Amino acid sequence: MSKKASGDPGDPASGESMHGEPSAATGIDDQLIDLLSLPADEVRRRRAASQLDPQSLRQAEQAAAVYSVASLPKIEALPAALESRLLEDAKRFARASAQSEAPSARAAPGPPPAIGRSRWFALSGYALAASIAVLAVLLRPLSPQVQPGVPAQPLVGKQALHVAWTPGPDATGAQVSGQVVWDPQSNRGYMVFKGLAANDAARQQYQLWVFDAQRDARYPVDGGVFNVADGQAEIRVPITPKLHVGQATAFVVTVEKPGGVVVSDRSRVAAVATVG
Partner 1 sequence: MINDAADAADAAAVKPALLARVAAGDEAAMRECIKVYGPLIWSLARRSCQQHGDAEDAVQEIFIELWKVSAKFDDALGSEATFVSMLARRRLIDRFRRRLPVEIDIDDTELSDDAAAMTALDHDIDFATVRRGLQRLRPEERRVLDLSFTFGLSQSEIVTQTGLPLGTVKSHARRGLASLREWMGVSARASAPAADEDES
For the bound state, the minimum distance from the C-beta of residue 90 to partner 1, rounded and expressed in Å, comes to 4
Q: How many CB atoms lie within 10 A of CB 32?
A: 19
Long-range residue pairs from 199-202, CB within 8 A, at least 24 positions apart, any chain: 199/172, 199/227, 199/228, 199/255, 201/227, 201/258, 202/258
- Min dist CB 196 to partner 1, Å, is 29
> To the nearest whole angstrom, how small is the minimum distance from the Cβ of residue 233 to partner 1?
36
Least Å distance between CB 56 and partner 1? 10
Nearer to partner 1, 58 or 162 (CB): 58
DSSP 73-115: S-PPPPPHHHHHHHHHHHHHHHHHHHHHHHHHHHHS-SPPP-T
Strands 166-167 and 188-194: unpaired
**Of residues 9 and 157, the one with the C-beta less far from partner 1:** 9
Sheet containing 234-239, strands listed edge to edge, beginning at the edge strand earlier in sequence: 161-164, 177-183, 188-194, 234-239
Q: How far is the CB of 160 from partner 1 (least distance, A)?
A: 20
Which residue's CB is nearer to partner 1, number 212 or number 235? 212
Residues whose CB falls within 8 Å of the CB of residue 176, separated by 6 or more in sequence, listed in order: 165, 166, 167, 168, 193, 194, 195, 196, 270, 271
Indicate the residue among 63 and 229 with the shorter CB distance to partner 1. 63
- 124 versus 232: smaller Cβ distance to partner 1: 124
Shortest distance in whole angstroms from residue 215 CB to partner 1: 7
Q: Rounded to the nearest whole angstrom, what is the least distance from the CB of residue 269 to partner 1 in the complex?
A: 22
3-state secondary structure of 271: strand
Cβ closest to partner 1, residue 104 vs residue 232:
104
Give the nearest distance from C-beta 45 to partner 1 in angstroms: 14
Nearer to partner 1, 68 or 203 (CB): 68
What is the C-alpha separation between 200 and 203, in angstroms, rounded? 6
Residue 235 CA to chain centroid, in angstroms? Answer: 29
What is the rounded CA–CA span in Å between residue 164 and residue 181? 9
Cβ proximity to partner 1, 169 vs 246, nearer residue? 246
Angstrom distance (rounded) from CA 109 to CA 238: 49
Residue from 15, 14, 17, 18 nearest 1 by CA? 18
